[in-house]
Amino acid sequence: MTRRTAADAPVGAELPERVFPVTRADLVRYAGASGDFNPIHWSDRVATSVGLPGVIAHGMLTMGLAGRAVSDWAGDPAAVVEYHVRFGRPVEVPDDDRGAEIAVRGVVAAGLDGGRVRVDLTVTSGGEKVLSLARAVVQLA
């Protein structure tokens, strides 16, 4: 992996859009890895009984995929020195072979001291924004 440099990341530079498919099988794998077996992530009956439209992806899975888009762009996961989001709306994952898609776009919004940049993210699923105030600080090489 080649680390991103200041020449690669001027203010206004756009990160390439990343689209991550998320299926029910992915939710099962994530539940096993995270230990989060809340039935809203696998049971339509339970999810709808608590007012959700259906099974939803784990919020931390959504956050993690957006973070992956940044770390892949940066060229090194350790280059992401700060990262935070607010969870805006859940990602509904249909019970079919396609599931849902989480699209991540980003832009270098500001240059910071010490060779760092702030990357602002737009994270959507089904055309709806699912994370808000999503941003990362990246240490450039």
**Residue 61 in domain:** yes
Residues of the chain with pLDDT > 70: what percent?
Answer: 100
Structure tokens at 72: 């892949």
139 pLDDT higher than 90: yes
Question: What is the residue range of 116's domain?
Answer: 6-22+57-139
- How many distinct structural domains can be found in the chain? 1
pTM of the shown model: 0.95
**Residue 30 in domain:** no
Q: CATH number, domain at 62?
A: 3.10.129.10
What's the pLDDT score for residue 1? 74
Residue pair 136/70 in contact (Cβ under 8 Å)? The answer is: yes
**Residue 11 in domain:** yes
**Residue 99 in domain:** yes
CA 23, chain centre distance (Å): 15
pLDDT in tens, 25-77: 999 999 999 999 999 999 999 999 999 999 999 999 999 999 999 999 999 99
**Residue 110 in domain:** yes
